[in-house]
Structure 1
Amino acid sequence: MSQQRIINGRYEVGELIGRGGMADVYLGRDERLGRTVAIKMMRPDLARDPQFQTRFRREAHASAALNHPNIVAVFDTGEEQLPDTGQHTDVSLPYMVMEYVDGDTLRALLRKDEVSLDQAVEWSEGILAAVAYSHENDIVHRDIKPGNVMVDGSGAVKVMDFGIARALSDTSATMTQTQAVVGTAQYLSPEQARGEAVDFRSDLYSMGCVLFELLTGRPPFVGDSPVAVAYQHVREEPPEASTLVPEITPALESVLKKALSKNRDDRFQDGKEFLSALRAAHYDGIPVSDDQSTAVIPPAVVPGDTQATQAIAPISAKDDSIFEPREELPEDYEMTGQMETVDDSRKSKRRRGWLIALLLILLLGGGAFAGWWFWNEAEQQRIEENQVDIPDVSGMPETDAQNALTTAGLRPILEYEHSDDVERDRAIGTEPAGGVTMQRYDEVTLNISLGPDEVQIPDSLQGASEATVRDTLEELGLTVADVSYVNSATIPRDRLVDTNPSLGSTVSYGATVALRMSSGEVEVPDVRGMTAGDAENTLTAAELGLGIDVVEEENADEETGRVFEQSVDPGENASQGSVITVTIATEPEETESPSPSPDDDETDSPSPSEDESSPDDEDSPTDEES
């Protein structure tokens, strides 16, 4: 039995329950506090990459700073030392010990069932509460999406994965490091798509996208590639949600319109404002009015200038006073040539200054445009050269699907979910779907099947060996609890007779099943007192399948024609098909008595005279002889 893995002398690492782009998540147990936890550990193959180390630590720092019922709690963080691989470098494996949420992601729930308006609003309230709290702590999540929101068994919402979150003070740097946009294309704000600096309102736009999908079942923008979707976020208006789901009220429509405004100044300015507007729209039918927007801080003005800046009226063609010559001087006024030269020189310098300034403006503007054009062309060429098509991996085994995506230059992010149509451990598909064009090294969600949520125990397992039964049940996601042996007339020894729950029944995924294997024997019934025919019918019946051998024996003490003895005692086991010998009582035959009767004495006893003369009878001559 393998030794259980323990980290920090406290946390027991259990089975793998999730995989991400840079980390694996394990079911764990805090031995000190006796509670179930989730342990998120950086993937060993990425542990030597300083960028991933930094990102993982940033997530741990951001998550640990937040304590809110709608945010997955981080209990502890640390690092586990990797064993030396011969590279003579110390490498640590960062980990986070988090709250274990027993539930599904919003992404999985959206795929599984339609979401009612009430449920969509209730879940959105929980997400907005979490977002508002993180904003109050100066944390911008930057990747709000259904895959990063958990819903537990009670319906409570938990926001997770602050892997690309930053403090607001750090977001003055744009969302791009090497011109690669961070985030998920379908939920990017316009400023994220443009690679600009983000703030709280960027999260609220992403939340608007999530609300739109919860209400309609699809994101506001869809396209063949992340680039196409990002372009729509920047340039196009989303469809009206009520055209997709007529039950959506005008009040909710107004909330979506405001949340998805291209200009962040036109959106809700904080999570609490968004939350209040959503509640008012859904529960009270109060729409967001056009003038109901948080005032934007105006640009700085010169102190004392309290008037709004006004446009200068254009100069009329008739108003040429500024071009008229000065009033002529008196004729007796003498003006030296030097003065005239100085005045002309000043005018000439002024004109040259304006011309030079204008020329510089034109040159700088043209240069900037030319630089932008060449950069844009180069960027487009780079994007096109790095584009790859997502391969169709539907139905592939998990390992093959991962390899296909990796070979294509993409980074698979595994998510596990139940499916009634796809076998366990096979790929359901990808997000985006196969055939969509993406940038090389982009992340692609690979959905792996856990099999059906409810499983039917196959009837066909009856008569199978224990090993076959175990393998089949485990492939269905079931667990074998115990094995016992029962008698059976038809199922060979060590073959399955039945299960508990019984064969053919439907059970929940992960349920335990007990096996009932054949002993190869049957219990012999009591046929004593039966006639030969009744005993034969009983022993050879289908549920027993025994043979019979009838023997008769005279017995005056037993009832004639009835079984008084059987070769195997009642209640004892006999091998399948055994022949049972039964003994039937018969009546004994009668024999003649040797004792004499009175009549026999008179007729058979000779007289004394006869006895005396009898010896001479043979020698006496007859009359004929004389």
Structure 2
Amino acid sequence: MTTTTRVMAGRYRVDDLIGRGGMAHVHRGYDLTLGREVAIKILDRELARDTAFRTRFRMEAQAASRMSHPSIVRVFDAGEDTTPEAGGSPAEPVPFIVMELVPGELLKDVIARGPVPAADAVRYADGILEALEYSHRAGVVHRDIKPGNVKITPAGTVKVMDFGIARAVSDSSSTVAETTQIIGTAAYFSPEQAKGEQVDARTDLYSTGVVLYEMLAGRQPFRGESPVAVAYQHVSETPLPPSEVRDEEHPERELERIRALEPIVLRAMAKDPFQRFPDAASFRTALDEAATGVVPTKKQLSSLTSELYGPSPRHAQETARTLRQLSSDTTMTRTQSGPPVAWVWAGVALLVVLLASVLIWVLAIKPTTDVPGAGRTVPNVAGQTYDAAVALLQKNDLRAIRIDQADAGVDKGKVISTDPAAGSNMDKGQSVTVYVSSGAAEISVPPLEGLSASAAKDALSKAGLQLGSVTQKNDPRSSHDTVLSASAAAGSKVAPGTVVDLVVASGVVTVNDLTGWPLDSATQALQQLGLTANPVENPGCKATDPKTVASMSVPPGDVPVQSTIDLGYCTGK
């Protein structure tokens, strides 16, 4: 791999290339300020030319940096670097992210070796869902869950990365084709992503279901010659059960484990978000229950497939824009057989009639701002206490689901926002997610006293804090570089990124000129400095009473702690 001495933002040294994707390349790096290894993701210049993308990218990176969880790759920093292009072209700002450097291999490399054993597949999927459970509570939807964004450590644990990047990409792209070109694959798209609709946490659950499917089957559920072709199948096709597409023969016990997981995979990959698991915790619970090995019958599996995937008027629900996006690519091919051509034309004709009918109906009705009798409008409860918000929602026949979220800009206990947003129309009795501020995010300062300076730096870094100034101080009881005190007490709560100053032992003490001192006084002075006095007789000079120091084995000044110093005194006649 190619190495380089490039330094970004005057702080991060860019070293070997360790990965490359459709929208960025990742280098091993080194933080020259904190003295630690990091991973640096540098975005492609084509993306960097979009000002809107750079703004969205910076905001999403900041949101990702606030998440701290063992199953999520930490984001330490994000910024822009300006370096001239080859050939002397004008310099352009290039966004970059500084992340935790995680050892191990990508899940996509694990899958490339063949189907993953069911037990490992469940463990990896559970790790992904654990990360999503945390991020969804924090209000962050990943949008690009795929094996290339999942790291498996040497210990077998899961680390999910690239939170927020997919949203920055999708918000800066006008079509499905552009988005898939940037992200590099549509194999893990949810139907609502493929149709350009609004997405929520259930999109991540669909993508996780696709990843679990691929681990069990050894290949993705849908394949085609272009991203649009694959996206079309996510919208309209029914996936085969993983046990029916495995190319290799496996012990019957392993196949039973796979069949026990198939209802979960099919549920997670339901076209309708409301038929999927409601949240990551429910998905994880279902995986735990499947570990018992209860295998559904073919009839049960067929019934579930029919319930989730059809028959239903699938195409009537798609918007005209979706059809234009999905049909503009003439290279698409299906992995399953499609309907006869006559049926296609009949469907198109039916759609035209439906659209014409809707248009006539819209023109005929009178505009009104009234909410239907069975409908309810979400009230604006931002800034109110949770109890007040619940009361107002109940007054509107709506239920509240509380989620606490750190927010330095909103007082603790006050409502930050709701989902759906205020003013949205809902059916009577539906639930509204109420995000309540838990105050500014706080981090507990780790114990630092007694550690070496380098160990203290690592402890601060792992806690999400920054090392500030390091001041040396003479201390007779401490070896060189030992932390004597810190600007923040151990156990105290501080904001993420707080700078902590350290006072460390210099490893030396200052010794005065002791010649001419009484030997006893000089010995006591050295003992107070933690030094050892070694009286040495000198018969070459006339003895004194009391005994007086005539010479020292070291000159006055700094000496290492716990040293021994010879004190010469006269014993001659």
TM-score by length of 1: 0.43
TM-score by length of 2: 0.47
